[in-house]
Structure 1
Amino acid sequence: MRFLARLLAILAAAMLAAQPVAAQSILRDAETEKFLDEISEPLIEAAGLEPANVDIILVNDSSINAFVAGGQAVYIHSGLIEAADSAEEVQGVIAHELGHITGGHIIRYSEGIGTASKISLLSVLAGIGAALAGAGEAAAGIMALGQQAAMGKFLAFTRTQEASADLAGAEYLSEAGISGRGSLTFFGKLLNREFRYGYSQSDEAGFYRTHPLSGDRIRTLTEVYEKDPAWDAPRNAAQQARFERVKAKLTGYIAKPNETLRDYPETTNTIPALYARAYAYHKNARVDRALETADALLAKDPEDPYFLELKGQVLLESGRPTEALDPLRRATTLTNSQPLIASMLGHALIATEDRVNYEEAEKVLRAAVGRDRYNPFAWYQLGVVYAERGDMPRARLASAEQQVMSGQYGLAMRSAQFAEAALPHGSPDWLRAQDIGMQARALLERQCEMEKGRNCGGRR
C-alpha cells in the first residue's frame, strides 16, 4: 500500500542514524565535541539522565534539524549550528531532543504506526467490498480517504510527541538555570523560514506536518518561559565565545573557501574569523596563508591546544609530518591525550616513515582507541603500525575494528576470522576478534535481509 510506503519513508528518515558511522557522515572534532558535551551536561542532569551515557553527535547535513534515533543519542545537523547565533539556541534544541529521549518517543512510534495501520487496513477492506459490489470508483475513493486519514492519525501522533518534548525541554532549561530566550529565538528563525519559503501556517497545510506549527509553539512556550525564574538569567559570555569559535571552525571546514572568506573577511582578526579563514586557506591549498593564520591564533594564546592542533593538521596534510609533531605533541599533552588529537599525532608519527617513531605511534594510538573505540581512522593507523612490525594477527584485528565501523561487514568478518585463528587462544585480543566476527556476521545478515535479491557476501 502506498500509505505504508510513505510511513516507511518517514520512519527511515527518523531512524537514519541507527548506525551513525556507516549510515551518515559524522563530523568529529575534539573542540566541538567538548563544547557540545559541556553545554549539554546541565540539561542531561536536569532530565534525570547520566551525562556519560548520552552522546551528542554532529551530522554533516546542511538542513536545520536535530533528532534522536534510539538509545540515548542526540544528533545535531551541521546546518543547525550554522543557523544558530548563540549557545542558548543550541541548548534549547538539545533540551527538546532530551524530551524525546525521556518520553520514550522513538519506542512509542510503533503505537502511532499501529493505530494508523488499522485505519488503513479497514479502508482497504471497505474498498474491496465496494469493488466487489461493482462500485469501482467508490472503492478507490474509500481507500484513498482511508489512507489519508491514517496518515493524518500518524502525523497527529508525532505532533503530540513534539509538543510534549517542547514542554519537557522547557522544564530542563529551567532546572539548569538557562533562559528560554534562546529557544524562542530559534523557533522564530524556523517561523521566518517557513514564511520565506512559502510554507503555509494553516491547519490544512499542516495536515501532513510531523511538528506543531512554529507559531503555535512560540505562543505556548512564550507563556511558559516568561513565567520561569531563569527567563532573565544572563548569557554565559565565555560559553558564547566558545560557541562562536566552534561555529566559525565548522564554517571553515564545510563551506566553500570563497564563502568563508566572504563571511569572515581579512579585515576582521577576531579569533572566530582567523579560525574560519585558516581552514579556508588550507582547503584552497594556500599553505603559507593557513600557517600564518594559525600562528596569528597562537600569538593570541600559545597554549591553546586546538590552535596547536590546527597548525599540526595543516602541516601534516601539507606533507610536512615531521614539522607537525611538535604542535601535535603539545596539543595531545594539553588535552590529556584527547583521543582524536592523539590519533592525529599517531598519524603524523607514522607519516614520517621513520621507524624510530613507530613505538611512540603504537603507544599513542592504543591509548586513543582505548578511550574511544569508535574511531575507524585510529584503528586503521594502528593496523599500519602492527603490519610494519610484522604482527599480522593484530594488524588484521585492527582492520576488522575499522571495517565493521565503516560498514564493510564481509571484510570485517574475514579479518576477524584471520585474527582469531592466529592470536593466542583465550587472550583479550582473541576474544575481541570473536566478538567482531559475530557482530559483522549479524550485521551482514541483517543487511542481506534488507536487500533481498542482491548478492550479499557471495550468498543470495
Structure 2
Amino acid sequence: MSMNLTKKIFIAVSCLLLPLISNAQSVDSNKNQLPEIGVVASDTLTIDKEVQVGKAVMRQLRGQAPIVHDPVINEYIQDLGNKLVIEAESAKFPFSFFMINNATINAFAFFGGHVGIHSGLITQADSESELASVFAHEVAHVTQRHLARASQAQKRSAPLQIASLIGGILIAMADPEAGLAAISAGNAGAAQGRINYTRSMEQEADNIGISMLARAGFDPAGAPAFFSKLAQQSRGQSSQLEFLRTHPVPENRISETRARAATYGTRNIPASLNFSLVKARIIARYEGNPLRNINYFGYQVQEKKYVFREAALYGLALSYFESEQYASASQILTDLLNEDPENLFYLDAMTDVLIAQQNPKAAVKMLTPLWQFKPKNSVLALNLANAMIQAKQYPEAIQILRDLLLVNPEHFLAYSLLIEAYTATGQKRQMYKASAERYGLLLAYPKAIDELQFAYNESGMDFLEKQRIKARIEQFRNEMDTLERL
C-alpha cells in the first residue's frame, strides 16, 4: 500500500466535525460549558432527524470514501461493536460499524449510530481489547450525542451543513497530514474555550468508554495501552499541531485512563483468534503486495512468530491467492477447514479459491449445508450467492440475495451481486431496479431515478409494475426534498 505507515495519527470524527461546528457559527463565551450527560439536545436535533442526517452522511461516504465491502471483516467489526453497544446506556438506535481502506490509525463516529474505522486501526492494535477501547470511545460519542449537544450550544441547528463538512474527513483519509492541516487552518481563529469544550467531550467519552469496555468483558487497560501507542507515534509533531487537536494530547490522557482502568482490577483476557484472523486478512488483501506478504507470513510460520499459528497460515493462504498460486492456497485452507470446518474466514477464502480454479460448483456444495443451517448469516449467504452466479445457478442466487436484502436493505455488496445475476439472465427491468437502489445508497438520486425510468420502459403492458416503479420514483424525489429541508 502506498500510504506511509510512519504518518499514522488518530483523528476521531469529534476531532474533525466538532471544531468545524464551533467555527461554522459564532458562539457566546458563556455557551462553552459542557451540558450535563442527561441533556439530549432535543430542542435542536431530534432522534429521528439525527438518524436521517446520519443516513445521508453514510450514503455520501459510501459514494466517496474507500469503504471496504468485505463480508468477513464487516461481520467481525459489527459483532465486536454490538458487544459494546449492548452494554451502552442510552443507545437509541441500531449501530452500524464499517471499515475504510486506509493504513492510518483513525476512527470516527457521526449522527445516527454510524462508526467508521480505518484498516490501520486494526493492524496496529496489539489486542482485541485495544481495538475495542476505540470502538467503545466512539460509541460513547454517539450515545452521549456529542454532535447534537454541540449543535444545541450554537443556538441554531444546521446538522446537514455540519455533516457536509465530511469532506474534511475524506481529505484526511487520502492524506492524514493534509487533512489535519486543513482542519487546523479552519480553526485558526477558534477561541480556547471551544477547544476545551470538545476536550471535555473527549474526557467524557473516555470515561464512559472504559466503563462500557469493562462491562462487555474486555480488558479496560486496553485504552491506556492504545493511548501509549498513539503517544509514541505522535512524537516529533509540532506543539501547535497538537494544541489545535480537539483530542487532548495522548500523553495527557494516558494517566487518567490508566487510573480509571485500574479501578476494575487486573483482567487476563485470552487472545482472540478472530482478531488475529482479521488482522491477517487486512494485511494480505489490503496492504503491501503478494510477494512481500508471502515472505511476511511465511516467516511467521517458519519461525513461530505468531499469536495463533492458524492466523499466520490463513494470511499465507490469502497471500498465495493474491499472487494466483491457487494450489498452494487451497492446500493450506483445506488443512485449516479440516480443523475448523465452520470457520467463516476459511470458508470465504476457500470459496474465492474454488471460483478462481473454475470450480464454483464445489464451492456451492461446500457452502449449501452450512447456509441451510444458518440462512441469516450474511457471510455464508453472500459467498453462496457469488458461487451460484459463477456456477450459472442464477435463480437460486437471486433468491438468496433478495432474502438478504429484506433483512438488510442497505447492503451494497448484495445489490452488486444481484445486478450481476439479473444482467446475466437478461432481466433488464429487475437489473435497472436493483441498480436504482444501489445508486440510492450512494445518495445519487438523479441517477437512481434515471434507472427507474429505464425499468419503467422495460415494463411493457404490466401496469401494476409501472405503478410500483412510479411510486418508487416519487419516494426518491421525496428523499431528495427531505435532504434539502434538514
Tell me if TM exceeds 0.5.
yes
Alignment of 1:367-382 (within 5 A): 367-382=403-418
Aligned-pair CA distance for 1:79: 0.5
2:347 aligned partner: 308
Which amino acid in structure 1 is aligned with residue 362 of structure 2? E
Q: Distance in 2 between matches of 1:404 and 1:112?
A: 33
Aligned residue pairs, count: 401
Which amino acid in structure 2 is aligned with residue 66 of structure 1? A
Aligned-pair CA distance for 1:254: 0.9
Which amino acid in structure 1 is aligned with residue 410 of structure 2? Y
1:232 aligned partner: 266
The answer on 1:21 being equivalent to 2:62 is: yes
CA offsets 1:242-281 (integer angstroms, 9 cap, x no match): 2111111221111222332343225617110111112111
The answer on 1:159 being equivalent to 2:159 is: no
Which amino acid in structure 2 is aligned with residue 376 of structure 1? F
CA offsets 1:207-259 (integer angstroms, 9 cap, x no match): 3112101111111112212123xx3232044xx12211111122111122233
1:142 aligned partner: none
Describe the SS at the equivalent of 2:248.
coil
Distance 1:16 1:373, change over 3 A: closer
The answer on 1:60 being equivalent to 2:94 is: no
Q: Distance in 2 between matches of 1:46 and 1:219?
A: 24
Q: Distance in 2 between matches of 1:291 and 1:10?
A: 55
Indicate which of 249, 254, 263 corresponds to 2:281. Answer: 249
Distance 1:300 1:182, change over 3 A: same
Q: Distance in 1 between matches of 2:481 and 2:325?
A: 43
1:172 aligned partner: 212
The answer on 1:271 being equivalent to 2:304 is: no
Q: Distance in 2 between matches of 1:147 and 1:66?
A: 21
Contact preservation (8 Å) 2:84, 2:212: yes
Contact preservation (8 Å) 2:58, 2:114: no
Distance 1:26 1:332, change over 3 A: farther
Taking only the aligned residue pairs, the percentage that are identical comes to: 26
Describe the SS at the equivalent of 1:264.
helix
1:324 aligned partner: 363
Contact preservation (8 Å) 2:281, 2:318: yes
| Structure of higher CA gyration radius | 1
Describe the SS at the equivalent of 1:58.
strand
1:260 aligned partner: 293
Distance 1:340 1:435, change over 3 A: farther
**Relative contact order (alpha carbons < 8 A, sep ≥ 6): 1 or 2 greater?**
2
The answer on 1:400 being equivalent to 2:432 is: no
RMSD (CA atoms): 3.6
Unmatched segments (≥5 aa) in structure 2: 1-16, 25-53, 157-184, 303-308
The answer on 1:206 being equivalent to 2:242 is: yes
Q: Distance in 2 between matches of 1:49 and 1:425?
A: 47
Aligned-pair CA distance for 1:110: 3.4
Aligned-pair CA distance for 1:333: 3.5
Aligned-pair CA distance for 1:346: 2.0
2:41 aligned partner: none
Contact preservation (8 Å) 2:386, 2:397: yes
Aligned-pair CA distance for 1:330: 4.3
Distance 1:189 1:17, change over 3 A: farther
Contact preservation (8 Å) 1:245, 1:275: yes
Describe the SS at the equivalent of 1:374.
coil
Distance 1:374 1:305, change over 3 A: same
Distance 1:405 1:37, change over 3 A: closer
TM-score, length basis structure 1:
0.76
Alignment of 1:125-140 (within 5 A): none
Indicate which of 19, 25, 44 corresponds to 2:85. Answer: 44
Q: Distance in 2 between matches of 1:263 and 1:112?
A: 51
Aligned-pair CA distance for 1:304: 2.7
Unmatched segments (≥5 aa) in structure 1: 116-144, 450-460
Contact preservation (8 Å) 2:22, 2:154: no
Q: Distance in 2 between matches of 1:399 and 1:60?
A: 24
Q: Distance in 1 between matches of 2:368 and 2:191?
A: 56
Aligned-pair CA distance for 1:16: 7.0
Q: Distance in 2 between matches of 1:344 and 1:227?
A: 45
Q: Distance in 2 between matches of 1:362 and 1:258?
A: 37
Q: Distance in 2 between matches of 1:258 and 1:395?
A: 39
